[in-house]
A and B are shown apart, each in its own frame.
Chain A
Amino acid sequence: MKKSLLQPVVVGAGPAGVRAAQTLVAYCVRPVVVDEAPRAGGQIYRRPPSNFKRPAQTLYGFEAARALAVHSTFDTLTNQIDYRPDSLVWNAQSGLLDVLHGPTQTTQRLPYQQLIVATGATDRVLPIPGWTLPGVYTLGGAQVALKFQGCAIGHQVVFMGTGPLLYLVAYQYAKAGVNVAAVLDTAKLSDQLSAMPALLTQPAVLFKGMYYVAWLRAQGVVLHSGVRPLHVLGQTRVQAVVWHDGEKELTLACDAIGFGYALRSETQLADLLGCQFAFDPLQRSHLPERDGAGRASVAGVYLAGDGAGIMGADAAEWAGELAALALLTDNGVAVDSARAQVLEQKLRQLRRFRTGLERAFPFPQDWAAQAPDDLVVCRCENITAGELRRTAQTSGADELNRLKALTRVGMGRCQGRICGVAAAEILAQATGQSVEQVGRLRGQAPIKPIPIHLVHASAPGVNA
């Protein structure tokens, strides 16, 4: 291999992208690292603007050491990589990525032969009536406000949904001095107990989770499990949340809500690249296929981190490194194959833990059946669950893209990134099919909205 010809592109500078870049650099390869954020770190280790002074311990808690390690790794790399922050990959076509540089509103073509896709994840949203009121955020959004902007989403906050992030964000908010009015978990205590054997495969992670819960309880934060969120009350913004605890309806005043049901992978780029997808029952979603090392179905494309399936931040670091090793191997570079084996094994072992997490915080299977007809599923286009059900019944639509064409669900600014999960659940419920059968929304450029007036750089080129 002529190393001078090899300039892989890494998309995303979260834990997976950073470790991928680091590994490539270690083998004397200089990658291009394209990241949408102004500073590297990804979502979980998102860094505040450089003039913010909150210490890492406050920002990241138990994860401070890992966050600092990822950040400092990246900082030592900057001279050895071609780093493009503030850069959104909005399209991929015939060996070129289209990259929008936010500050200059310029889009440039970036050629690649090898590509590591580490696009991360966003919240999995299952809406309830009232969720469009100002003051309702996703858990991830609530966390970003705290980490990136140093501000809270409200004074009296309820966190709701399920998943490990639920307790982590509640803990981070309470630690920051915010009044956490309650944590409402749709999972039952019995779910968590039955998941214990699998969760014990990663005792340190389990311990952290248990610590957050114990700490919150010690601070007097009300924790309810086995709830069913019913609706959000308020006229012009959130005033209260109503839920069912299995016996009765309960109402609690609050001025902000953070909610979410674990995470969903950002797979649009993999889709535009032509990667094959398969349904993953554990994650209840269609995900790009990859082998144990991260190779996608398209030659030269590697998938790492939560963007290809939710495995968490630690796994993302391992997968990023492993994907880089696979890329190097495929280009004839002799790599440390023992290290690759160790990484593959660590990832394999983590699968059992993931199974445990899905059991401890199960997807609320009855969400669609409980969703009332007047629930707005797609907030961009104001499409209700009832409209989706009616359309499915009258038109015979049994597939998600068809439902989109007929109702506009997923046709707004988010292009289904937020509403796609809920729409698929409603369609499955309305047609008596599985979520696997209703399929997934086809990816289309732009991955996120692009300004019409942006400057289209004519010639493809790679900055040295």
Chain B
Amino acid sequence: MTVKHIQTDVAIMGGGIVGSSAALALRRMGMQVVLLERDLCGSRSSGVNYGGVRRQGRPLSQLPLAQRAHRIWAELPRLIGTDGEYQRSGHFKIARSDADLAALEQYRTQSQDFDLGLEILSGSRLHTHCPWLGGKAVGGSLCAEDGQANPRLVSPAFALAAQRAGAQIFERSPVDEVTHDGQLFTLRSGAALQVQAPMLINCAGAWAGDLAAQFGEAVPLCARHPAMAVTEPLPFFMVWSLGVEGGGIYCRQVARGNLVLGGGSGVALDADRARSGRDAIAALSVQAVELLPALRHAHFIRTWSGTEGYLPDRQPVLGLSQTTPGLIHGFGFSGAGFQIGPAVGEVLAELARDGRSSTPIEAFSIERFLPAHAGPA
């Protein structure tokens, strides 16, 4: 069998929304890029997540990235050739107690510098705005410019756009071996493909830990599995995407009328596959009817899950490797990577070209997990 040897500027491991948008951004900078995806681009967590495109509720350290992403989302049709059903429909975070409402108000104050336009609704205004809301809600915080999109369309579209822009994308090409000679990384996929590049971007999602560990940067990355479910189409009644302070359930109604719901944890079948679990489905059922009494007579027609990389502090690893020149990490988005994904892609491209990011990312350095970090300053 002939081995295909490719020399390139940047090699990318992982074709989720992060890797694909990095590939696109690199091409727009005029750099050569090869992306290896072991399955299909955007077919894992990037393609099967809830589809929330929200800034509200993120840690303040993520808001610069989220704001950058917010601007990119507005340009999707120009950038990737489809709007991916993206809508700035509003994201409403519900409080089920006065303490929750106070927490939402506090977040609004803390995030003021970022101009999210948060608006607190409670009392009679709450019920005027959302007559469909169940009795347990006492109020909530609306971010009118946050929204939702169809991840099944958006994430693959980034990969297709990157490909059209000249990125070489290899799907169904798992990386079996990575070596580094001090100058160049060599990636081998099976017996047929070898890629050499001075820069390597590790954005392999829940599977990124092995590569980091190989280069002396083991991180406590673990896989988690969101439990997701969808109803049949119902008459349209809800524009906003809903979340709940303290977590538990999130829900949106797509234009076609189906309600997409998530909450709780699914079950891993193996390292690569997961499903929604029965306990999560049961819990979701109860919470869904509590939140939206109109769902009482609806059905779940499908449930699903995915495999997401979580880090203990729920913050991603994003930045240059501390051990290996040319290695760049972007993974561990802990169930919240979809909205910031396109901005992370641009940041990774900047890191590859300039060695630094124009958006602050210090909080996400892999250094925080390295032993030296815990030692004396």
Contacts of B285 in A (CB 8 A): 452-454, 456
Q: Which residue of B277, B286, B299 is within 8 Å of A451 (Cβ)?
A: B299
**How large, as a class, is the contact surface on chain A?**
20 to 34
- Interface set of B (CB-CB < 8 Å, partner A): 40, 43, 47, 152-153, 156, 160, 231-232, 256, 267, 269, 275-278, 281-282, 285-286, 288-289, 295-304
A379 close to chain B: CB less than 8 A: no
- Interface set of A (CB-CB < 8 Å, partner B): 91, 93-94, 96, 98, 109, 274, 381, 395-396, 399, 401-402, 405-406, 408, 411-413, 415, 444-446, 449-454, 456
Contacts of A452 in B (CB 8 A): 231, 285, 288-289, 295-300
Given contacts A405-B47, A449-B301, A452-B299, could you give 11 more A-B pairs where the C-beta distance is less than 8 Å?
A91-B278, A395-B156, A401-B43, A408-B256, A413-B299, A444-B303, A445-B275, A450-B300, A451-B297, A452-B295, A453-B297
Please name 28 pairs of A and B residues whose Cβ atoms are closer than 8 Å in the assembled complex, sorted by A.
Answer: A91-B278, A91-B281, A93-B267, A93-B277, A94-B267, A98-B278, A109-B278, A396-B160, A402-B43, A405-B156, A406-B156, A413-B301, A415-B301, A444-B275, A444-B303, A445-B303, A446-B301, A452-B231, A452-B285, A452-B295, A452-B298, A452-B299, A453-B285, A453-B289, A453-B297, A456-B278, A456-B282, A456-B285
Closest 4 CB pairs of A and B: A449-B299, A456-B282, A405-B152, A449-B301
**CB atoms of A449 and B300 under 8 A apart:** yes
Contacts of B275 in A (CB 8 A): 93, 444-445
Instruction: Say whether chain A's binding surface is mostly helix, strand, loop, or mixed.
Output: loop
* Smallest beta-carbon distance A408→chain B, Å: 8
- Known contacts A93-B267, A395-B160, A452-B289: does B302 contact A444 (CB below 8 Å)? yes
A454: nearest residue on chain B (CB-CB)?
B285
A394: nearest residue on chain B (CB-CB)?
B160
**CB atoms of A411 and B299 under 8 A apart:** no
Contacts of A109 in B (CB 8 A): 278
A96: nearest residue on chain B (CB-CB)?
B278
* Smallest beta-carbon distance B236→chain A, Å: 16
- Known contacts A93-B277, A456-B285: does B302 contact A411 (CB below 8 Å)? yes
- Known contacts A449-B232, A452-B288: does B300 contact A405 (CB below 8 Å)? no
Q: Roughly how many angstroms separate A93 CA and B277 CA in the complex, as a whole number?
A: 8
Q: Roughly how many angstroms separate A405 CA and B51 CA in the complex, as a whole number?
A: 13
**CB atoms of B300 and A413 under 8 A apart:** no
**CB atoms of B281 and A445 under 8 A apart:** yes
* Smallest beta-carbon distance B23→chain A, Å: 16
Q: Roughly how many angstroms separate A96 CA and B153 CA in the complex, as a whole number?
A: 35
**CB atoms of B269 and A274 under 8 A apart:** yes
Contacts of A401 in B (CB 8 A): 43
A381: nearest residue on chain B (CB-CB)?
B256
Q: Which one of B153, B285, B288, B297 has the highest number of Cβ atoms from chain A below 10 Å of its Cβ?
A: B285
Q: Roughly how many angstroms separate A109 CA and B279 CA in the complex, as a whole number?
A: 11
Q: Roughly how many angstroms separate A223 CA and B284 CA in the complex, as a whole number?
A: 54
Q: Roughly how many angstroms separate A451 CA and B302 CA in the complex, as a whole number?
A: 12
Q: Roughly how many angstroms separate A405 CA and B150 CA in the complex, as a whole number?
A: 10
Q: Roughly how many angstroms separate A359 CA and B276 CA in the complex, as a whole number?
A: 42
**CB atoms of A93 and B278 under 8 A apart:** yes
Q: Roughly how many angstroms separate A79 CA and B98 CA in the complex, as a whole number?
A: 57
Q: Which residue of A91, A98, A412, A453 is within 8 Å of B232 (Cβ)?
A: A412
Contacts of A411 in B (CB 8 A): 302
